[in-house]
Amino acid sequence: MEVVGVVIGIAVVIGLFWIGRELLCWYWKINESLAMLTEVRTLMARSVKAQERIVDLLEAAQTMGNTSAQTDAAPGLPPMFPHN
């Protein structure tokens, strides 16, 4: 009988811990913050991929000798990727 009481006691403590954790997370808005941070991380990853693609395209255009887009867009400024 003592073993059953210990098991029930442990289950009650775990249940109370879980309920208390959920209440604290709700009160401090931790769950919402986590969801927003996850969304920000996803958007940042997309942005990095887009920026890498733009850099690849600019480098490809420069290796083909097509720098007119850079000079027309910003006359008087040095090219973004100068030749070495």
Q: Which residues contact 15 (CB under 8 A, 6 or more apart)?
A: none
Query: Is 51 a domain residue?
Result: yes
Helix or strand run (H / E) with residue 52 = helix 30-63
Average pLDDT across the chain, whole number? 85
| Containing structural domain, residue 24 | 2-60
For 11-29, the pLDDT digits (tens) are 999 999 999 999 999 899 9
For the chain, the domain total comes to 1
Whether 67 is covered by a domain: the verdict is no
Q: Nearest Cα to 55, choosing from 80, 78, 74, 84?
A: 80
Extract the tokens encoding 64. 């083909």
Q: What is the pTM of this model?
A: 0.53
Residue 74 domain flag: no
Q: What is the pLDDT of residue 65?
A: 77
pLDDT class for 64, splitting at 50, 70, 90?
confident
SS (H, E, C) 61-81: HHHCCCCHHHHHHCCCCCCCC
